[in-house]
Structure 1
Amino acid sequence: MSVFGPVTPPTPAELKAQITTAMLDMAGVLEPVYDAADGMKRDLEERGWSPTVAEQCAGMWLASTLSTMAGGGR
């Protein structure tokens, strides 16, 4: 029981709205990270790296960055 009275769980529609809003917020937060990975890949290719290696490097950086963000920066 809450100080403000009983806590009722959200309805399925409310839960869907909360999840949708959270996912849209997360997509907006991650957009600069994805853009940075795309830019890294392009930069490596312009420097003469093969597209395959550039993709692997950018992908590894992206995965590491997303993992760091998911861990709260640790």
Structure 2
Amino acid sequence: MFGPQTPPTPAGLKEQVSLAMLDMVGALEPIYDAADGMRRDLESRGWSPTMAEHCAGMWLMTTLQSIAGGGKA
């Protein structure tokens, strides 16, 4: 952190990106679970599987876009 900085190596960058992606998978898991639950709930209420999948997919897409944008609407 202090002193001269050396540029990261390709192997070091690969490790950092891999770890960040694994962290993101864990952080997003509850959101994916919520979308799956939403789809199952809509189907149990009599919605067609196609419409339930579409609605849950739209919710998931919007939620992921909100997360990617830092919560900005």
> When the two structures are superposed, what TM-score results if normalisation uses the length of structure 2?
0.94
Matching residue of 1:24: 22
Q: In the TM superposition, what is the alpha-carbon distance from 1:5 to its structure 2 partner?
A: 2.1
Matching residue of 1:51: 49
Q: How many residues align?
A: 72
Q: How does 1:4-15 map to 2 (within 5 A)?
A: 4-15=2-13
Q: Percent of counterpart pairs with the same letter?
A: 72
Task: For 2:6 and 2:33, locate their aligned partners in 1 and report how far apart those are by CA, in whole Å.
Answer: 41
Task: For 2:70 and 2:19, locate their aligned partners in 1 and report how far apart those are by CA, in whole Å.
Answer: 20
In structure 1, the gaps of 5 or more residues are none
In structure 2, the gaps of 5 or more residues are none
**RMSD of aligned alpha carbons:** 1.1
Q: In the TM superposition, what is the alpha-carbon distance from 1:7 to its structure 2 partner?
A: 1.3
